[in-house]
Structure 1
Amino acid sequence: MGYQHPPASIAEDDSIFVAVPSTDDKVIDVYSFPGELLKVRIPQIRTVETGMVMAVKFVRNRAPQRLILLAGYEGGVTAAFKLADEHPDTSVGTAQLVYLSQPHSQPILSMDASPEGDFYYTSSADAVIAKHQIPELPSIPGKEDNNPPVPSSDLFTKQTGDQLSSKTAAPSGLSSLLSSAAPLPKFKPAPPVQKVVSLQAPYKIRDTKHAGQQSLRVRSDGRLLVTGGWDSRIRIYSTKTLKEVAVLKWHKEGVYSTAFGEILAQDEIGCGDGAINKRQRDREEQSKLKHWVAAGAKDGKVSLWEVF
């Protein structure tokens, strides 16, 4: 799963984060590309048997602007981890577990988050679809007020006027020897002790009676989600109630992949080529406003649907 840094991110380049299972399949590694640097290693969860990592998803809370990594595991467990605000180039960071749940009895197949980053949804080899609320997190320091972060040099005890004036004197003896030595490397404090997060009930859960729903995707307006089923059906659900609102039947074998077309606002639609006539231009604009669903199945076919 990849995540590109937005303009507000700490990174100043066009690097992206990519999360993958590690060589230990219960551990998640986060790399930065194109530098190919290991930035974060998320260790195995010890409080519950998770099995191997099955799905990962990056999401950013819009209000506090925190970067969250969602994970789904073979044991039906899902977790949310808060990544650190800073990712030093010289060391591998860690992440804080902020949410843990086990709503499924079978491996989690897919997950996706709401556009606001406050909820996410999981589907599994069982018939359950679950809705999870991402815990509220504090805002990133420096973004919620006008006070800049305190420089690291100001974290030490303030010096008196005599101490400051003594710096101007020429060092002698041992002081002279130390001053000529190479500067000491920056000290990276040990990460804080992680709080134990117990299993929590999901925000909402629904037994759909249809096992093996995968490729769960949330529409760009956050109102609907779609899944592809082993039974060759494409199902549409309300994200608010998790009730099934439509079943799309055409494929003859299991549906492996689904996607929503992004819903565009009227002012986001381009005028197109001025040479085309008005009727054709109106038709193209209307097609961009429609709510499309695309799906691909084991039968080797791709389908396109217009939904409400």
Structure 2
Amino acid sequence: IGAIYEARPNVTVDIAALCLKAGNAVILRGGSDIARSVAATTTVIAEALEQAGLPIFAVQSITDPDRELVRQLLRLDRYVDMIIPRGGVSLHRFCVENATVPVIVGGMGVSHIYVEPSADFARAVPVVVNAKVQRPGACNALDTLLVHRAAAPVFLPMVAATLAEYNVELRCDLEALAILADAPGHENWQLRPAEPADFGREFLALIVAIKVVGDIDEALDHIAQYGGHSEAILTGDPANAVRFTREVDATAVFVNASTRFNDGGQFGLGAEVAISTNRLHARGPMGLQELTTYTWIGEGDYLVRI
């Protein structure tokens, strides 16, 4: 397995441990900012492998910053079975465009929460806030809040006031902006008109885009255009909840829960190397099982096929 990542030196240990547990060797390539940390960590891992009687070269790292070496790694299909990129859009695009090795695309994408008039607003506000502020740099953090037009006049001021306590910038469409700009306390909120590109942007920061929609159909259409990572509906309507889970195409879909639950540990799968947005071979949190394959074994008494 090849793992290419831009930051977060802790990924070195996470991926190495999971690959070893699954019986895989791994080649690690961290970004230039963490190259020394990756090299030092890999050295310690090699020492631990030797003490355990395991092959010391089961975990290796590329510390040279030359990007041509990454291109070569992406084409080692004779030796490498899978590439896992962990980083921004440009890294994923570079891997997909240059690899002859299968690439797991994941860890990026716009996440949505859609709020219906039937939702319990008092309980919905903490869910939205949790999805946005608990860890804004995570891939499953909320990016766009969709609110039904019938719910917007009451719900938007409620959630905006709480988000403002965490210094969240609100990038609103015209309808949401008009509602919030007329609400008590708005002068203390970071209100901005949304640009069209904001609704397709993974912010990874204390910023959320807000859009008012006419019905669930419009919400589903919007998510189909921009989403696919972690999507949630807050509703008291069981029929719409079922429809949402059936029609949204994403790695994880939630009813009355935060998008932050899209995580291997939260699903009981243990640690993960990435959250894959691929449809094959892995989708969602990639843990030990997704790092293995299988072989069919047949035993007989000198059997021949007829």
Q: Per the shorter chain, which TM-score range?
A: under 0.3
Structure 1 length as normaliser, TM-score?
0.20
Structure with more relative contact order (C-alpha pairs < 8 Å, separation 6 or more): 2
Structure 2 length as normaliser, TM-score?
0.20
Higher helix share: 2
Higher strand share: 1
- Say which one has the larger Rg: 1
